[in-house]
């Protein structure tokens, strides 16, 4: 499922979803974990994946005996991909529902207002699908990140590609949405530090479907590397139209979209050679608990989990570890634990800077589409393939 980045006007559905649990050996009221996700609107695909991750975590934790000898319950509201609604619903979770623990929203667009609400009430939050550097520049004491910043999310693959022969210039195209703009800005900063000449940096509207003008301009600039600050369907359209407009850089790198199975399904052979950032793949079998996670998800949904599922499952693991460390449902103690704990999860290692809450323990992986599959190229210890470079011209494929 690709995130459709065409913004839609939609009324927020405030349907609370309580996920069913196994029979409990525990006693007492459940510990309620509450969050807000885009189950409708432009972020619905990612929201659904995140919901599945939280749901699977709840099911498996309760089957294993619960948390603090109590069952856990997940409660999710739908923000319809609207940041204002996100903030309102987190207020509701905290002040009306009085949930015990917060779960993260999805994307920087919704995370910025959500973290403001969490900090206002001193309610600890670990952000999930969010990387925007601005989140960590506000001095918040109760907000921590599961994912590294946009700077590293984009920078790790850009550094890898910059080591390839002939990479001297870069064209950056990014969607106007908050989180994709963050990727574009991070690409420009990394390019400067790598000594790459930015020959083009353009932002396009979230509802753009015709990229001809942008790609014609990019072809005239003749970049060695094209970076797309993208999130879903926009990346598919850019690549399709790059072929039509005969744009032939040595490498294409896109954010977010390449990790979704729909990217290859929709593009077919045109997806070959594309670089991306992945923060989780099923091949990372050394991660603690990942086998049971993958098996449980596959049994439930008939397919392997993708990064968004692992993200939300791992985030719930971190929040549970902080609760266990605190020994009670005390927000101040949980916040302190989140700044000091190092937690192995199915998503990777959680460890943050104790002053800022910025993620420092999580690995980032460089990936490339090869023969219709996502393959990790770096770090070398996790590689499942070697790099294919340069990208052949469209007419030579």
Give me the DSSP letters along 161-179.
HHTSTT--EEEEEEESSHH
Q: pLDDT-derived band of residue 353, with 50, 70 and 90 as boundaries? A: very high
Residue 76 has pLDDT above 90, yes or no: yes
Who's near 107: CB < 8 A, 6+ residues apart?
38, 43, 46, 129, 130, 177, 178, 179
Beta bridge partners of 177: none
Give the Cα separation of 288 and 265 in Å (integer).
30
pLDDT in tens, 101-127: 999 999 999 999 999 999 999 999 999
Q: pLDDT tens, 141-190?
A: 999 999 999 999 999 999 999 999 999 999 999 999 888 999 999 999 99
Task: Report which DSSP code applies to 365.
Answer: E
Q: Is the peptide bond before 226 cis (omega within 30 degrees of 0)?
A: no
Dihedral of alpha carbons 332, 320, 382, 266, sign:
negative
Q: 269-286: per-residue pLDDT in tens?
A: 999 999 999 999 999 999
pLDDT of residue 155: 98
Q: Decide if pLDDT at 206 tops 60.
A: yes
Q: Where does 188-255 show beta strands of DSSP type E?
A: 197-204, 225-229, 251-254
Domains and CATH numbers, the chain: 17-148+284-350 (3.40.50.2300), 151-278+365-396 (3.40.50.2300)
Tell me, what's the pLDDT at 277? 98
- Each residue's pLDDT tens digit, 134-149: 998 999 999 999 999 9
Other C-beta atoms closer than 10 Å to the C-beta of 134 total 13
Q: Following DSSP, what letter does each residue of 20-79 receive, concatenated?
A: --PPPS--SSPEEEEEEE-SSSTTHHHHHHHHHHHHHHHHHHHHTT-BTTB-EEEEEEE-
Question: Omega of the bond prior to 390 within 30 degrees of 0, cis?
Answer: yes
* Residue 163: partners with Cβ closer than 8 Å, 6 or more residues away: none
Residue with token string 């949930």: 99
**Residue 206: both structure tokens together:** 């979230």
Distance (Å) of CA 172 to CA 66, 189, 257, 275: 47, 11, 16, 14
Nearest of 226, 274, 236, 277 to residue 370 by alpha carbon: 274
Q: Encode pLDDT of 302-331 as tens digits.
A: 999 999 999 999 999 999 999 999 999 999
pLDDT of amino acid 296: 98
Q: Pairing relation of β-strands 72-78 and 17-18?
A: antiparallel
pTM value is 0.89
> Which of 385-393's residues contact partners 24+ apart within 8 Å by CB, and which partners?
387/164, 388/273, 389/164, 389/165, 389/250, 389/251, 389/273, 390/164, 390/165, 390/166, 390/250, 390/251, 391/248, 391/249, 391/250, 391/251, 391/252, 391/273, 392/273, 393/246, 393/248
């Amino acid at each position: 499922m690709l995130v459709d980045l065409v913004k839609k006007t939609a009324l927020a559905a405030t349907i609370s979803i309580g996920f069913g649990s196994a029979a409990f050996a525990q006693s007492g009221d459940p510990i309620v974990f509450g969050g807000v996700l885009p189950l409708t609107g432009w972020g619905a695909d990612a929201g659904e994946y995140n919901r599945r991750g939280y749901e699977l975590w709840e099911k498996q934790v309760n089957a294993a005996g619960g948390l603090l000898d109590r069952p856990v319950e997940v409660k999710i509201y739908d923000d319809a991909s609207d940041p204002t609604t996100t903030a309102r619903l987190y207020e509701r979770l905290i002040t009306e529902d009085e949930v015990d623990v917060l779960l993260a929203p999805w994307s920087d667009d919704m995370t910025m207002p959500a973290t403001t609400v969490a900090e206002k009430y001193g309610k600890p939050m670990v952000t999930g699908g969010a990387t925007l550097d601005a989140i960590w520049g506000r001095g918040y004491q109760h907000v921590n990140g599961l994912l590294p910043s946009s700077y590293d999310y984009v920078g790790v693959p850009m550094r890898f590609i910059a080591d390839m022969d002939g990479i001297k210039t870069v064209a950056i195209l990014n969607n106007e949405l908050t989180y994709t703009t963050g990727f574009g800005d991070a690409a420009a900063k990394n390019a400067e530090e790598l000594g790459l000449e930015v020959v083009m940096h353009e932002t396009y509207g979230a509802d753009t479907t015709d990229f001809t003008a942008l790609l014609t301009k990019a072809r005239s600039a003749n970049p060695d590397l094209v970076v797309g600050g993208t999130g879903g369907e926009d990346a598919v359209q850019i690549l399709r139209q790059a072929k039509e407009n005969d744009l032939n850089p040595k490498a294409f790198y896109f954010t977010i979209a390449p990790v979704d199975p729909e990217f290859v399904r929709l593009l077919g052979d045109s997806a070959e050679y594309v670089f991306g950032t992945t923060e989780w793949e099923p091949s990372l079998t050394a991660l603690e608990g990942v086998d049971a996670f993958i098996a449980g998800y596959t049994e439930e949904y008939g397919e392997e989990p993708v990064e968004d599922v692992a993200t939300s499952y791992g985030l719930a693991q971190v929040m549970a570890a902080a609760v266990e460390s605190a020994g009670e449902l005390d927000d101040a103690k949980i916040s302190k634990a989140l700044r000091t704990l190092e937690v192995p999860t199915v998503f990777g290692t959680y460890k943050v800077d104790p002053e800022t809450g910025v993620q420092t323990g999580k690995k980032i992986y460089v990936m490339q589409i090869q023969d219709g599959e996502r393959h990790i190229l770096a770090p070398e210890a996790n590689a499942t393939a070697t790099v294919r470079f340069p990208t052949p011209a469209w007419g030579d494929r």
